[in-house]
Chain A
Amino acid sequence: MLPKIKEDIISVLKKAIPALKKEDFTELSDLSNRTIHDASIFQDADSISCAVLMYSLSKFCQQCKEKDISLPNFAAQLEKALDLLKKDNIKLYENKIKEIFKVMKKYDEKVNIYFEEAIKRAKIKKASWMHEHGISIARTAELLGVSQWDLRNYVGVTKVPDKNLGGLTAKKRLEVARDLFK
């Protein structure tokens, strides 16, 4: 794990733990975007996994609260993950993150959020964010393990395509098309 990625994930975990303890799930959702910059530049599994985890946790915990289901002690799990990461036990850190996902999956029956679908939605959302940061749709779909069909369908309804990045004007592009079909 690159030092910058480690530093940024540590920073996210340090904020996520108190957010979980005071049940501020919006903060968790916001934290999921902090590692997207790293994910876009380095495209490493750990930044991506951290972003997906924070977002999934925010939705999962929100659902538990709404359904009055007692939350598993994710804060304690994240504290262990943080400790492992600080000590450079990267493999054990990654396993701990996977464990947290498994806990959410085990709770699926009670919470009824269809865990697999929830994770898929989290991945699509984070892929869309990475695309907004300048990574192509196909590349982000590949990195997050989602289908281009789902991702394009999602990105289309966001404001992402509305930014003007330059290139041919609409009129010019239409002229090109007319030329091709004359």
Chain B
Amino acid sequence: MKTLVFDTGPIISLALTNLLWLLPELKKKFKGRFLIPLSVKKELVDKPFHGKKFKLEAIQLMQLIENKVLEVIDEDKVSKRAKELIEEANKIFKGFHHNINIIQEGEMEAVAMAELYNADGIVIDERITRTLIEHPPGLQKHMERKLHTRLSVNKQLLEKLSDQLDDVYIIRSTELAAIAFEKGLLNKYIIPRKVTKRDVLDATLWALKLNGCSIRSDEIRKISQEVVK
């Protein structure tokens, strides 16, 4: 069965833009499973449920889990594999002879799950994890510019990580929204002569960006041009 793994970020972006309702609809179109690791569930539900500000969002997410739209996977092999990957990832870049811990265990759990379950894709909104997997030199260059210091790179570990995660295909919440649009799921927002298809798509993509999805303005333009023809 097809599988899509979710990191924390895309679900937060969808929750903050009132678009969680898209997930069950997209799942029907996907005809597969939407998985989240336990650490992601803790971040999405357990932590905000005990506060005030995002408790309602946490409750909405609990419903999605109860209704099996999102499946929580709690397996030792996932956390074990995540620990191995994170050990490697956080030793790739060094500044002042010190390993720089660039990502956190929870983020790696989603990646580990995607690898172990041979997932068809993984949804990650956060750019550091994405760039580490897809284009590490870009991340190195960026960090050196920002930190005003040359970083040393463990090329062996970098190659190892790249090889291990070669088959991991990453999309964002914005691509999910684009697919939702193409499947007609956002048509209910169109108002003839007042709110066009382009308005709906642009508004959705911008809302996701402004609520945490790491997508550039020019990328939004390109998606919009590509999808609304």
A residues whose Cβ falls under 8 Å from a Cβ of B: 2, 4, 37, 40-43, 131-139, 141-142, 147-150, 152-153, 155-157, 160-171, 173-174, 176-178, 180-181
Contacts and interface: CB of A to CB of B under 8 A. Distances in A.
Given A134-B128, A171-B226, A40 B170 contact: no
Nearest to B58: A149
Given A149-B48, A180-B30, A165 B211 contact: no
B81 to A, nearest CB: 17
A134 B47 contact: no
Interface string B134-156: 11011100110011110000000
B175 A177 contact: yes
B175 A173 contact: yes
Contacts of B26: 181
B67 interface: no
B219 interface: yes
B171 interface: yes
Main secondary structure of the interface of A (DSSP, over half): helix
Nearest to A163: B142
B3 to A, nearest CB: 10
B210 A156 contact: yes
Contact of A40 (B4, B100, B138, B139): B100
A40 B144 CA distance: 12
B169 A167 contact: no
Interface centre among A132, A160, A161, by most chain B C-beta atoms within 10 angstroms, is A161
Contacts of B30: 180-181
Closest 4 CB pairs of A and B: A152-B212, A166-B138, A166-B135, A134-B143
Interface in B114-143: 120-121, 125-131, 134-135, 137-139, 142-143
Nearest to A132: B146
Interface stretch (B69-77, B103-111, B158-166, B186-194): B103-111
